[in-house]
Amino acid sequence: MSKGKSSNKLIGFFKSRLFAYILSAIHVVLTLVLLGIVLYINMLPLKFFIPVSFVLLVLCAVSFLFAYAKKIHIVGKVMSFLLIIVTSVGIYFAYTGSSTFEKVAGANTKTDIVNVYVMKADKAEDLTSAADYTFGIISVLDRENTDKTIASIKGKLGSPIKTKEYEGYVQLAQALYDSEVDAIILNSAYIANLEETEEFASFSSLTRVLMQTTHEVQIEVDTDKDVDKQVFAMYLSGIDVEGKVSTTSRSDVNIIAIVNPETRQILLVNTPRDYWVPLSISHGTEDKLTHAGIYGIDVSMDTLEMIYDVELDYFFRINFTGFKEVIDALGGVNVYSEYSFTSHHGKYKFTKGYNKMNGKQALGFVRERYAFRDGDNQRGKNQMAVIQAIADKAVSPAFLSNFSDLMKSIEGSFETSMSSAQISSLVRMQLNEGGAWEVFTYAAEGRSAMMPVYSMSTEQSVMIPDEKSIIRAKKLIDMVYDGKIISEEIIEQVDNDKITTGPGSNSSDSDDTSKN
């Protein structure tokens, strides 16, 4: 058959009503797929799903009727083709969003990475060549993970190894430097703390990893709450590590979000990372709050629960390396700064008032503390300001215009213990009821000092808690739980101790009662 005849047949097929029927059938199948995905993710309220389904099915019927009609089936082809494109885009958005939420939701593990370190110039090329080495270990701290790694080494070598115990990781690193041991077994979560000391500031560049083991532990999470009806508390943790967001690490951001879906109010309470408080696993000995993270996100949550007498239902963990990508995917954010300053990280200049920031600039903004007299206190306020800016941008058209990039950045940078079904119920509630949420912030405060800490054998720069600010934060938390409507004026009254007769009370120190 000649090329001309084949070409004519193909053109004839495209002009035929059969081709119109095929296009119409494809459109119907894609429409059913789209409706199936929307039903599965369960984010669209019935009052929207029913009319949307009706319109989509009517369009299917119309395109089929156009294809069936003798004189206007060409119109049916064009219509079906355009609807196929629109429906395919809808499927992409729905599937991508559903897939991302499935991956970031329902997190219930913490990941510990435990390494075998040797000096960089050590002759051992692999574990086998280190079989006769003496391995330094910490006697008590993180012993469970250490023992798991020892068992893994034994399994690989087929024989036991010689170990020597030390009190803490500072002593352990010093033993490696002094050649008291040939290698050390240490959780990678401790390296950041170790490198904050002058003696071991170059630990990562002077050593190398001979072997790495990964240990995952399940965390108990509450999945029973009706988050679209009941008040819930979520721990927002910000870390800065490479790799999986579940990797155990210090938490540089420690914010409690109290969410009341009935009053549509959210209270963000920031606690400085250097707060000197007993950890839930330190048997009453004080440590920096940020160090709680190196024992797992559950320890950070338990410690905050002890501080504020509140039960934290869920956690939301942010990796600040990916945090930059999220802000860039949103096209930048508009953040309010209380001061003009230049950041230590990146040397970015910020002015008092609103500043348009990209991801790198925002990261420099939330990390800064040296430029402020209040140091860590102001850093916490800046972190909450960026969270508010992200929330504002997330409900803008930029969310859809950069949807694909945004979903990719979220997938690698965030995780939450809240289930995908609970996230869907919150989205469904918002679509169903509409309206804005009010977000209020409060920061616990303290004073700087040098004190011993549980996780290290040396004194560290810490923040001694201001107990009054903790009590005020508790009052505000209780007010949100009790369904009281809070406002900036109420927060100011609490902060000035004008509300003294208990959470939600409008009584002041004077004989007059407040009108608020």
Q: What is the mean pLDDT of the chain?
A: 86
Q: How confident is the model at residue 124 (pLDDT cuts 50, 70, 90)?
A: very high
C-alpha R_g of the chain: 29
- For 243: left if phi > 0, alpha if psi spans -120 to 50, otherwise beta; the answer is left
pTM: 0.81
- Walk me through the domains of the chain, giving residue ranges and CATH numbers: 3-99 (no CATH), 113-215 (3.40.190.10), 232-333+374-485 (3.40.630.190)
Whole-angstrom distance, CA of residue 453 vs CA of residue 169 = 13
Rounded Cα distance, 32 and 326, in Å: 32
pLDDT band at 513 (very low <50, low <70, confident <90, very high): very low
- Residue-wise burial string across 329-357, b where 16 or more C-beta atoms lie within 10 A, e elsewhere: bbbbbebebeeebebeeeebebeeeebeb
Query: What is the reported pLDDT for 154?
Result: 95
Q: Are strands 207-218 and 162-166 parallel, antiparallel or unpaired?
A: unpaired
Confidence of residue 9 (pLDDT cuts 50, 70, 90): low
**Range list of H helices, 3-72:** 3-15, 17-41, 46-68
SS3 call for 220:
coil
Measured in whole angstroms, how far is the alpha carbon of residue 105 from the centre of its chain?
Answer: 10
Instruction: Please compute the mean of the pLDDT values over residues 366-390 and round it to a whole number.
Output: 84
What's the pLDDT tens digit per position in 263-305? 999 999 999 999 999 999 999 999 999 999 999 999 999 999 9
3-state secondary structure 276-331: EEECCCCCCCEEEHHHHHHHCHHHHHHHHHHHHCCCCCEEEEEEHHHHHHHHHHCC
Q: Tokens representing 311?
A: 């039960």
Phi/psi at 125 (nearest 5 deg)? -100, -25
Give the pLDDT band (50/70/90) at residue 24: confident
Cα separation of 141 and 167, whole Å? 8
Listed residue (388, 489, 366) closest to 438, CA to CA: 388
Residue 278 burial (C-beta neighbours within 10 Å; 0-12, 13-18, 19+):
middle
The string over 83-93, giving b where at least 16 C-beta atoms fall within 10 Å of a residue's C-beta and e elsewhere, is bbeebeebbeb
3-state secondary structure of 415: strand
How many of the other CB atoms lie within 10 Å of CB of 294? 26
| Helix segments in 309-402, DSSP class H | 320-329, 359-367, 376-394, 398-401
Angle, in degrees to the nearest 10, between helices 17-41 and 73-104: 20
pLDDT for 71 equals: 64
Q: Tokens at residue 65, please?
A: 């009727």
Q: Percent of the chain at pLDDT above 70?
A: 88
Q: What is the pLDDT of residues 226-268, one digit of tens each?
A: 999 999 999 999 887 666 778 888 898 899 999 999 999 999 9
- Give percent of the chain above pLDDT 90: 51
**How many Cβ atoms from other residues are within 10 Å of residue 299's Cβ?**
20
Question: SS3 for 370?
Answer: coil
**162-166, long-range: CB < 8 A, 24+ apart:** 162/132, 162/133, 162/134, 162/135, 163/134, 163/135, 163/136, 163/137, 164/134, 164/135, 164/136, 164/137, 165/136, 165/137, 165/138, 165/139, 166/136, 166/137, 166/138, 166/139
For residues 130 and 182, the answer to whether their CB atoms sit within 8 Å is yes
Mean local confidence (pLDDT), 483-500:
87
